[in-house]
Every structure is written in structure tokens, then in C-alpha cells.
Structure 1
């Protein structure tokens, strides 16, 4: 037990946690409720697996640091690299953004099953070459923690769906909860006599639906119609592997997209601009319509002083989950894995490790949390309570900023830095950016999407 670890959940965050533990512990046991597919196929344990996933620049850099060369492996498997703003036609609430080659940030676009398959295969290969023994327990779930309020010493597991069947205990010096939005860790901690963490929830009531298409004449860029004040419906279309395109339509409370086949196109036709509808109206659907509604931003403050006992860490969505429409979750999962690896490399399994990793994981999520909740608070307040004074100021500033992104290359560059999770929020609070957002007159963006790539802004 002294150098054993247990990882709960075999999704992207859990797989990366295993990768971070290799060479640092004697044995890792990965406990997964599902059974893993042989190839890049979906599974029930990844409820968003059929929907659009993109990897932000910050996540790509962290992934290549954690698993060098895996970005090239994703590209070889068919993932697309989309430069911003050149390869994504983006309509902000105030109009379309100019299109030019900035050369600073790109999205990696592929299906979630492909991403999981490539990363899992890489981690399994590295495990076989490492000095760490890896055991994978599939079709089982964690039912509680072992230990006491101050020290976690392992987990209790049982076969999934069979009460009492296959029940056993796994002793470990470190338990990493990577079980996602549905994490039951607050209950597990209460079972040890420890208080559950404080929670923050910002729920915009957003729902979205996704369908896969094959386009007869694919364009040279994806498209993103961003929802916002006065524009309650949005849509995204991006290329993925095997010549297919994923299309996601979204709407807030009272504007939820339907899941019927014909209704999908009707909703696309109702967007603020017809470009996305025209793109798919004659395309060949190659999947059904899949809906998703569990989109609340939810943060559990395990990072508070004394927030976790020794021997226990919660990472990624288990600690801080975001509205998936912003595409930040996978990047934060990688940053969490990197934080775990770096703190283990700095001293191995030791007293204080859990709190140190938890704090680093929380800092890795801070920017994503602040940007997602700033965008969602006005919609959340519409379905709940009024915003406070400070939140009203934040929302007004964010609204002016996003309107300026479409027409101001300096503000746009700062915004792309932030949403790519490569800089802290202070990037948008620099005096030069604040002055441009608050003092320069508002101007609308382009009325129609720029189908040709134009020259970049002068001096930028």
C-alpha cells in the first residue's frame, strides 16, 4: 500500500492521471464502471462522447508535455487542426469576426472516441515499459473510501449493478477521483465523517443536440455562431476524422433545441444567420440526433484549506465542471494531470501531496471557470435570482469585450489567449485592453461570414 495508487474513472482525466503516476508509484489500479472498447468507439460512461470536442492550445501544449508526441499521433489518426481565426468562421453577438491568419492558437478537432482511444493506447504502451504495474478493473464501481477523516487509505469497490457482488477493498497511499460530473466523492467523504466541500453552481439552463454529417462540398473552415444577449440560439460545425462533420446546436431556457430528425434542420434555420443551415441542409446525416442537458458549471472547493484529507485528490470534472459548449473541460483535465505529475516528481508520495495537487488543479481551472461563468451568469440569473452588483459589472464588461472581439484585433488576440487557456484572466484586465473595451465606440462586426482569408491587421 505504501506506494500504491487507485484512480477512479477511466475517461480522459483518469487515463491521464494514470500516465502521471507511471514511474512514481509501484502499482496503479484503474477502476472503471464501463468496459473499454477495442477501437475508437463510444461507450455509455462518456455521456458527452457523441458530441463535439475540441482541444484548446493550452491543452495541446500540456498534453505534449505529459505524453510527448501524442499530438502528432492524433493528427495521424485523422484529427484536424483549425487555426483561429483563419479556420473558424465566428459570429460574435455583434457580428462576424474578420478572418485572417494570426498563427498563435489552433483547435484540434476530432471525435471523443478517437481522442480517448489514442491517449489510452499511448498510456497503456508507456505503462508496459514503466516500472509501475497497472491493473485495470472494468465493470466495477467505487462505493466508498477507506480510512478516517484525516487520511484516506483506499477504496471499497463492487461489481456494477450487482449489489454486494465482487465487493472488495483496495488499499492505496493515494486515491485520485477522476469520475467526472457524477462524482460521489462528497458522499464518500461524509462516510468518513468529513464534511463535503462547498459547492458553487452557475446553470444557464443550456441544452444542445449534435448530429454527424457528410458534406458534398466541405468548406475550408468550420463555423461557430455564438449565443449571447439577444441571440439565444447558437451552432457549431467542425470537421472531424474520416471526412465527417459534427454539428451542434444549442439554446438556453425556453430555446432548447429538439431531438427530432426534421426539427434539427428547422432549428438550424432559425439561427441568427443562415450560413450553418445552408451548409447542412442537403448534407447526408450519418448519425442520429443526440441531446445533452447536464451543462451547469459546478465547482467543488476541495482546494479550500483542509479541503481534502491526506491520500485523496479530486481532479477535472470531479472537482470543477464547465458548460461543455465552451470546450474547456478536456484542456483542464490535461492541466490537472500535468499538475499531478509535477508534484509527484517534486517529492513523490508524501505528507501534504494531496493539498498541493488539489491547489494546483484548482489554479489550472480558474481561468476556465471565470470565463464560463461570466458568459453564463446573465442566463442563469434569468432563471433564478438577480445578479449582484459585482456580477453585473463582470457581465457588462464581458458583454462589451465579446462585442469588441469581432472588430478589434488587439482585444481579439487577448480574448483568444484567454479562451485557449494559455494566460490568466488578468490578460483581459490589462489597462490597454480595458481602455479599448470601455472607451472606444461600439462597432458592429461583418454582416456576413468572410469566405476568403484576408490580410492580418497592421502592426500585429
Structure 2
């Protein structure tokens, strides 16, 4: 592969940052990754990924994007022990109206594994691809990005500071800067320091907190399990398989419900879920990790894709641009689909005039479906004083999505459309197709199943 022209700096060397590096290969001469941590030698936790010890999944759209960017990644993850669950056949889901029918569609799946495994596989493959490309890649570890260089109309690089006492700041010039630093991104403040307005921001905070623990089960179920919160019960819990025969339990509380992280409180939390099935599965479970809590869970979108949202030379991706309530497991998939969108934008002329706005719009489109479904699900639990007020369009969307989700639990036609969007393989308009809209709005609402379904049924059965 030939190298391109110009230099790029990527802020953040996590999953989103590494996928951005892959997207840049062949389009720029050199990529410098600025990473605040030091990488471990293998799949291991690191401080710079605060959510790493919680449940992580990769949806169909993310799997497809990852495979296009890094062919063979899925097989390598599977060989390392990552688990693949067909959807909805292999995930028992108790939603707002009961248990979802386990339609056997064979169209969508999720990959469940520890975050260190996924990061390690992606990082190793990206650096190997870089070595075989015409683009030089340098990773600068234990270094913070502390500001942008340039002016209000163009970013020309990044100011960095190595971690440690007495370390001096230095400037890195670049033709393109990509911020992949996650929820903690400082780009809005940095743009203001350059004399440019920060982007408009939307926030929808349902007051969710969660906690996780890795377990070994005496009698593992043949499926994953998810019991959703609902207006009359703000507690939820999910159980998914990991590598090495272990399982991860993540419990959450919405609307300000406290989720305990002490031994006794965490063990008893699942007894308060909407159905006792998950609690009963956990009898005799052997804890393999401490209980870890997390609270930074609001849906937040910075509108960098709006006209004038970014200066030339800057693109913002992943959680730095749009982050979600983590309970829906969309973040890594959006990062992968966004990196693919950036690669496609670069293919149309490389890092030249107009790239920033073009690429930012493409990255935003990659997040649209995830944003719509997450916000639609969370609005009923939002404290009006803590989040952006919904407009008429969003209020209708929330009403429609609530009806659609209830119908999807028992209707293969509506369920198929809903899963296409949630898995990020179709745009939100898929949920408005005539057959789907008519079944959602006109057919009588039906309750889902009262108890967990024992087995799958063909998707053609109604």
C-alpha cells in the first residue's frame, strides 16, 4: 500500500483511536498516536479505559465494520475465547411487556468478550497493518494532549505534555488531527481557546448507574440474559458469557436508583428485578473479581457535524463526539462504523480542503441510529432539569419507539426492522417502513411472554 501525503495526529490510542489509525493508512504519510497510558504486553486492564471492567459487546454493524477494516479479526477473537450470540435466539430478554420471543432469524449477532481482549486484538492487527503499509505509525505513550494548534479556521497540530514531573510541553504539527479521546474530550474548550465557538451539545441523562462483577456459574445457562428496567421498576441486570468459561454480571439502576458495590448489596440487587429468573441463575456463583461501579452514563452528543462545527484539519470521532448510555452496548460498534466512514471520506481526496466537514458528517451519520434508539428508550426516565428539553419531533420519536419495541418482542416483522437499526446495519428510516409503521401503530398491543421462553421459534411464526 502506498503512503499518502501529509501528517496526522490521533488523540487517544484506545479502540476508537486504533481504528482511526487503520482508516488513515495509505491516505497520509505518517500517523502519530498520542496515548496517555502505557500499553500492556497482552490483554490486560489499564487505567485509561475506566469502563473496561464492565460488559462489552460488538453488534452486527460493528462486526462488519471491523472485518472490513481488519479482515480476520472475528476469527481471531473467537479463537481467543470471545463468545458469539445470535440475536434474539441466544439472549433471553425481559422487556417492558414481558419476555421476548426467541425468533431464530440468523441475521444478527453480538460478540461478548472482555474489553482488554478486544483492544489487544485490534491494536495488534492495526500495528501489523501499519508495518505493511506505506504510512509510518508512531505511538507516543504516557503523554497527554493539552491543546490544539492553529486558529479559528484551521487546526495545524496538537500541543502535548509527557506525563511525569518536570516534563516539558512540545508541539506536534499535523495536516489532520483526529480526536478519539473519549468522553473526557477537551476539544470544546480547546476550540474556544482558538477563538472558535464550542459545538452545540445535547444531553439526555436518565440518572443511570451500574456495577459489574465476573463470575463462574455452577450451572451456566445456554443463553445470555437481560432483564430490562421499566417505569414501575428501575432495576436491570444482564448476564453474558466471556472467554475462559466465565460470565459477567452487570446490574444497573435508572432514575437515580442506587446500585450497591458492597458484597451483600450487590448480591441481593438482582432479587429486585422485574422477574426472578436472573437472580435464581446466580445461586452458588463464584465471584472472580471485585464489584466495580460506574456512574458517567449520560447520552451526550456534540454537534460537530453542524455547519461550521469543525475547522479545517480537525475531525472528532467515537465517544468524543457522541456517547451513549452504556447499558445498550452501542459505543464500540459506533466507533467501528465511524472509523469506516472516516476511511471512506478519506478515499475521496485524502486530507485536503473540505475533508473535516465531509468526514464529520459521515461520522455523525454512523451514530444516528444508536442515538435515536438510546434517547428514545431513556427519555421516560429523565429528570427535566438535568437534560436538554425534547422537541416535538423527539417526543413523537420516543412515543413511536416505545410502541415499536413492545411490538418487536412478539412480532417478527417489526422485530426484524428494530434489530436491523439497533445492530447498526440499517438507518433509522427502516423503522418507518410502511409495513413496520402500520403494524406498530394500528395493531392491538400484545403482551410479551410471562416467563422465559424455553427455546427458539422460526422467525416466520407470528
Give TM class, smaller chain.
over 0.9
Unaligned 5+ segments in structure 1 are none
- Which stretch has the larger CA shift, 48-57 or 65-74? 65-74
Report what 1:5 is aligned to.
Answer: 8
* Conservation of the 8 A alpha-carbon contact between 1:378 and 1:387: no
Unaligned 5+ segments in structure 2 are none
Report what 1:265 is aligned to.
Answer: 267
Report what 1:300 is aligned to.
Answer: 302
- Which stretch has the larger CA shift, 421-430 or 49-58? 421-430
* Deviation of the 1:455 alpha carbon: 3.9
CA-based RMSD of the aligned residues comes to 1.6
How many residues end up aligned between the 2 structures? 458
Report what 1:165 is aligned to.
Answer: 167
- Which stretch has the larger CA shift, 15-24 or 228-237? 228-237
Q: 1:387/1:153 Cα in 2 relative to 1: closer, same or farther (>3 Å)?
A: closer
Report what 1:91 is aligned to.
Answer: 94
TM-score between both structures, scaled by the size of structure 2? 0.96
**Residue 434 of structure 2, aligned match among 431, 437, 452:** 431
- Between the aligned partners of 1:396 and 1:302, the Cα distance in structure 2 is 27
* Deviation of the 1:118 alpha carbon: 0.4
Report what 2:209 is aligned to.
Answer: 207
* Conservation of the 8 A alpha-carbon contact between 2:103 and 2:412: no
* Deviation of the 1:145 alpha carbon: 0.9
* Conservation of the 8 A alpha-carbon contact between 2:92 and 2:453: yes
- Between the aligned partners of 1:390 and 1:119, the Cα distance in structure 2 is 38
Report what 1:125 is aligned to.
Answer: 128
- Between the aligned partners of 2:345 and 2:199, the Cα distance in structure 1 is 22
* Deviation of the 1:389 alpha carbon: 4.5
Q: How does 1:70-85 map onto structure 2 within 5 Å? A: 70-85=73-88
Report what 2:286 is aligned to.
Answer: 284
- Between the aligned partners of 1:342 and 1:397, the Cα distance in structure 2 is 33
**Residue 249 of structure 2, aligned match among 247, 250, 261:** 247
- Between the aligned partners of 1:434 and 1:2, the Cα distance in structure 2 is 48
Report what 1:38 is aligned to.
Answer: 41
* Deviation of the 1:59 alpha carbon: 0.7
- Which stretch has the larger CA shift, 98-107 or 173-182? 98-107
> Aligned with 1:47: secondary structure?
coil
Report what 1:63 is aligned to.
Answer: 66
* Deviation of the 1:281 alpha carbon: 2.3
* Deviation of the 1:216 alpha carbon: 1.6
**Residue 361 of structure 2, aligned match among 359, 362, 365:** 359
Question: Which whole-Å deviations, capped at 9, do the CAs of 1:168-197 have from their partners, x for residues lacking one?
Answer: 111110000000000000111111111111
* Deviation of the 1:382 alpha carbon: 5.8
> Aligned with 1:305: secondary structure?
coil
* Conservation of the 8 A alpha-carbon contact between 1:253 and 1:383: no
* Deviation of the 1:134 alpha carbon: 1.1
* Conservation of the 8 A alpha-carbon contact between 2:404 and 2:440: yes
* Deviation of the 1:228 alpha carbon: 2.4
* Deviation of the 1:151 alpha carbon: 1.1
Question: Which whole-Å deviations, capped at 9, do the CAs of 1:403-429 have from their partners, x for residues lacking one?
Answer: 112211111111111110111111111
- Between the aligned partners of 2:339 and 2:59, the Cα distance in structure 1 is 16
* Conservation of the 8 A alpha-carbon contact between 2:229 and 2:274: no
* Deviation of the 1:372 alpha carbon: 0.7
